[in-house]
Amino acid sequence: MDVSDIFQNLNEPQRQAVTSESKNLLVLAGAGSGKTRVIAHRVAWLIKGLGVNPHSLLTVTFTNKAASEMRGRIENIVEEEMGNFWCGTFHGISHRLLRSHWEEAGLRREFAILDSEDQFRVIKRVSKSLGLDDAKWPPRQIQWFINKQKDECRRSKDVEVGDDYFAEKMNQVYTAYEELCERESLVDFGELLLRSYMLLRHNEQILEHYQRRFQHILVDEFQDTNEVQYQFLRLLTNAGSHIMSVGDDDQSIYGWRGAKSENINRFTKDYAGTEVVKLEQNYRSTEIILSAANAVIKNNQGRMGKDLWTEQKEGEQISIYSAYNEDDEARYVVGSIQTWMSQGRNLDEVAILYRSNAQSRVLEEAILREGLPYKIYGGLRFYERAEIKNAMGYLRLVFGREDDAAFERVINIPPRGIGAKTIDVIRARALKNESSLWKAAEDLLETEGLTPRAAQSVQGFMSDFDKLEEETEDLLFKDMVDHVIQRSGLIEYHKKEAGEKGRTRVENLGELVTAAADFESPQGEEETTELKLFIDHAALDAGDTQAAEHEAAIQLMTLHSAKGLEFPLVFITGFEEGLFPHKLSIEEPGQLQEERRLCYVGMTRAMEKLFIVHAEMRNLYGTENFNPPSRFLREVPKEFINEIRPRAQTNIPYNRKDFKETKFEFEEEIGIALGQRVLHKTFGEGVVLNYEGSGESARVQINFDGAGTKWLVMAYAKLEKL
């Protein structure tokens, strides 16, 4: 049989991986090295070259899309339909097992699968039945706890809580949740994996059947496997089977959702005589981009070790732009994209990456100002996000109580014990009286049309808004928005969502305060309140639809979302300490290493041109903060860098009209130099970072040791030089 077409366009390491006779094979596939090609051609070689029956193959991917693409590639190479070839995700394969062996697995034939939201609602029901208050025992946090235990192969009886009262209570819910799911034959996503693992572990006959059947197991994205997935594979493999795992320890970035990067190292220990093949030739990026990425990732400890290289031309240096602030950052990025377009290039070749979702707001606004189409990859626009809509709901009700949509949205967020039945009663009264929901609620309170408990909760909700209006009456707009968000309880409410999701929501709420601080009322709108104008601005921004599905558009996404993608032009924004690496990761070596891997992933998304942008100051939560450049930037060798705007030249904010031409003129006028340590009677000691203005309007920016970064008017500051 002619198998020459299988080896077409394969380099030597790829060919070695495809034809390996080793029972245990680990392929370390660097970014853009053709790992999908290797898996597809390996399957084709087994079928056409070695005569292996497709029935005896199992290929595992991490997304349904990847599974579909993999099957299509294989069928194109072997030129036949694969029939009963198992190719799917861990969840898909587990579901298939449980459908075939529902009785042995202790399920009903027609068991139901719970998606994440279904699972959340069941957990809420269980918590309520146990008399737990959602405010003290957030269902989202309990959900995270349960899923984490399942990822680690633990039933509720296996969980060790020790003296941890909180964990004990959550495990109590886990126990009751297990019992309910067992009674009703409900299976959540984590259960699909855990129950399949338990099925194989406790049923020798079924295990031996699948061990005999799957003689060749191929696993993609092995660095993203969690404990239950790893143990599932361990069970399926025996002395007679072959396993090929393909992954990249340098691209393990999902530790926060249970992935264990160390599983790649475990593989070489648990599978004796493992052959390791390294795919180091990159077909995506230029030599400079790869060399810079290699230099960064080399700072991580415990790597398997590889260096990406390419036959492509050296390419352009990485452009580093030191922005004055986040607005300058956004303007520069958009301006660079317009330059790219003027050279005859397309918008769908461009990606803007950021560490935190909250960063998208300023970038979105700059793009909208220029009328350019864009898409948020794998996410929502800033003003469309649930936590932002919640906060805007509060602001809208502060402005006017007649806003029914806002009333319905926030009446029970955070939870106040106001259920659906109470809201239905209010709706019915509003319909009858042809009034707003707020007026209907007032009427029901006056006429005692609600149960005592419901009346107390509704009264508390409405009284809170009266207090909010009174408390914010004399506040500056930014401070008013900040106060409403703080007093609403939304920060604590969203903070209780475990993991990255909760943290992201809180960061987005902070960014809304920044949006309020940056907001400038349109000219000619003096008679309309700033709050109303801001509400309208947010509504219009959210109403601006994203680019059509097939329309060429700029792609905005988090660094996590960018994995597996590639673009000719890439911008990585917010390249600052505390933001990237994230402040919560800096003190923890393992998390810092994951942040560095995330940086490596971001850099290797770029095919032709890479921009890295950082801001000297960034407005966070309505306060200006001084941000040193990311440590990852210092790890990039200088020969690969082109500094578009060296930091030494950014002392003067270019977008201010009234600055002195040189720092020497300014220092001469105020008698204080940049870098000078000073003392303020209220804020204590600090260092001068920046300046602007002249005469009575002259201001200095000072980073105080204990009070953070502040702008002060020189005429009133009464600073003492130290």
- Could you list the active site residues? 35-36, 220-221, 251, 605
CB atoms within 10 A of CB 121: 11
Tokens of 484: 């409403």
Tokens of 566: 């590639």
Cα separation, 610 vs 222, in Å, equals 28
Cα separation, 454 vs 464, in Å, equals 15
Tokens of 129: 């039945």
Whether the CA torsion 114, 118, 123, 128 is positive or negative: it is: negative
**Backbone angle region of 183, left / alpha / beta, with phi > 0 → left and psi within -120 to 50 → alpha:** alpha
CB atoms within 10 A of CB 338: 11
Tokens of 139: 């269902």
Q: What's the Cα-to-Cα distance from 16 to each of 162, 488, 574, rounded to whole Å?
A: 50, 61, 41
Q: Do 654 and 633 form a contact (C-beta atoms < 8 A)?
A: no
Q: Do 65 and 314 form a contact (C-beta atoms < 8 A)?
A: no
Tokens of 455: 């009346």
Q: What is the dihedral of CA 528, 529, 535, 539, to 10 degrees?
A: 10
Q: What's the Cα-to-Cα distance from 433 to each of 411, 422, 440, 459, rounded to whole Å?
A: 20, 17, 7, 20
Q: Do 227 and 258 form a contact (C-beta atoms < 8 A)?
A: yes
Cα separation, 437 vs 461, in Å, equals 13
Cα separation, 68 vs 495, in Å, equals 37
